[in-house]
């Protein structure tokens, strides 16, 4: 991997760093892979502000690779095992990883494993800490290549994590856009009308989902409608890019909801079919459609692989829309997180 080549022969030493990385919400979904963590179609997302993971990592010289991970102060062996497997997969490029002791303390501002992309924020935060360590060992500044390396490392840990490195809107996957890549995400500029989009996240259920996103991606391999979905996603990607560039909120919203529903349709028609939607998810969708018909206000929903809805709308309409959310939708939820377009990851 060329982005890691400068660090292959580094001599590890002790180092500690902390990074905060946000979740992101995909406007065009990535669902299905080709090869190792390569997307079957390009995706496009908005980075959030309030939904984030903060991660402190201590790297120490050790006789073997060991990983300890604490989530909200509680030791988590399962997640530590995933990080260890991930670091083992990088040893061809960074052979000295086998002699590290890694201790991770991490916490989220939102429920883990509920379809709000906690793997995106969590793995991108860890990838940023690892990239910081590489630059420390290589005595390199945190320049332009830093974010690209972090995005690439995040992708190898969790695909959508590569988009959380950057703020605003981000694309991932080879497309008609210049500098697009399957290996890392790239920032994407949008119309000024979308500079301050709001995202009210309706927590319908805070329970960890029954089928992981990784397992969902695997079920696309033999899915009868997989190729049709990839064609649809590529078309929607081009249409979404045009809508976000031109400031067309109605077209943006139409594609946004179509992508969300297509994602869950793929789950419900996959081998070993399943659904992550809940009755209150569907009830909220119906109420949003009715509200939009009655008011003509640009309130649209999307959701990732879980039951929890992201309500996307321009800041200028937030008073009327938040009144509707508070009065009509809040009884369907366990909690509402008021979020918005964010500026990306930061070192703490």
CB 190 within 8 A of CB 147: no
| % of the chain residues with pLDDT over 90 | 87
- Mean pLDDT across 79-94: 96
CB atoms within 10 A of CB 11: 8
**Distance between CA 19 and CA 190 in Å, rounded?**
26
DSSP 200: E
Residues in the chain: 348
pLDDT tens by residue, 200-227: 999 999 888 888 888 899 999 999 999 9
Print burial letters for 69-85: b (CB count within 10 Å at least 16), e (below 16). Answer: bbbeeeebeebbebbbe
User: What is the pLDDT at residue 36?
Assistant: 84
* CA-based radius of gyration for the chain: 20
What's the whole-number mean pLDDT along residues 66-88? 95
Comparing CA positions, the residue from 313, 341, 180 lying closest to residue 252 is: 313
| pLDDT score recorded for residue 266 | 96
Q: What is the pLDDT of residue 113?
A: 66
DSSP H stretches of helix in the chain: 77-89, 118-138, 144-157, 213-218, 226-246, 249-268, 279-295, 318-324
- Does domain 2-189 fall under CATH 3.30.230.10? My reply is yes
Helix, strand, coil fractions of the chain, as percent rounded to 5: 45, 25, 30
CATH 3.30.70.890 given to domain 192-340: yes
Pairing outcome for strands 66-71 and 346-347: unpaired
> Which pLDDT score, from 0 to 100, does residue 82 have?
95
In the predicted structure, residue 345 carries a pLDDT above the cut 60: yes
What are residue 269's DSSP bridge partners? Answer: none
pLDDT tens for 117-163 read: 688 999 999 999 999 999 999 877 666 789 999 999 999 999 999 99
Domain positions in the chain? 2-189, 192-340
pLDDT band with cut points at 50, 70 and 90 for residue 110? confident
């Amino acid at each position: 991997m060329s982005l890691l080549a400068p660090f292959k022969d580094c001599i590890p030493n002790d180092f500690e760093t902390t990074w905060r990385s946000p979740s992101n919400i995909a406007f065009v979904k990535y669902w299905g892979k080709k090869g190792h963590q390569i997307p079957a179609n390009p995706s496009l997302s908005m980075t959030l502000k309030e939904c984030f993971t903060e991660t402190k990592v201590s790297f120490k010289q050790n006789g073997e690779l060991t990983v300890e991970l604490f989530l909200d102060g509680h030791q988590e062996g399962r997640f530590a095992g995933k990080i260890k497997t991930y670091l083992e997969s990088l040893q061809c490029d960074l052979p000295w990883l086998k002699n590290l002791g890694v201790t991770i303390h991490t916490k989220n501002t939102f429920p883990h494993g509920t379809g709000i992309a906690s793997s995106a924020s969590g793995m991108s935060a860890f990838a940023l800490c690892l990239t910081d360590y590489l630059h420390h060992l290589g005595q390199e500044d945190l320049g332009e290549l830093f974010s690209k390396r972090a995005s690439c490392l995040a992708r190898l840990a969790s695909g959508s994590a590569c988009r959380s490195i950057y703020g605003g809107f981000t694309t991932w996957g080879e497309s008609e856009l210049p500098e697009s890549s399957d290996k890392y995400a790239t920032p994407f500029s949008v119309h000024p009308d979308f500079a301050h989009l709001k995202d009210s996240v309706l927590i319908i259920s805070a329970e960890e989902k029954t089928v992981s996103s990784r397992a969902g991606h695997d079920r696309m391999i033999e899915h009868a409608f997989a190729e049709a979905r990839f064609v649809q996603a590529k078309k929607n990607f081009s249409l979404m890019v045009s809508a976000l560039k031109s400031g067309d909120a109605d077209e943006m919203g139409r594609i946004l909801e179509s992508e969300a529903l297509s994602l869950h349709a793929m789950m419900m028609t996959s081998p070993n079919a399943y659904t992550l939607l809940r009755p209150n998810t569907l009830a909220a969708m119906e109420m949003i459609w009715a509200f939009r018909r009655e008011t003509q206000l640009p309130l649209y929903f999307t959701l990732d692989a879980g039951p929890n809805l992201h309500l996307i709308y321009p800041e200028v309409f937030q008073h009327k829309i938040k009144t509707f959310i508070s009065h009509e939708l809040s009884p369907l939820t366990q909690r509402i997180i008021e979020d918005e377009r964010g500026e990306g990851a930061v070192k703490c």
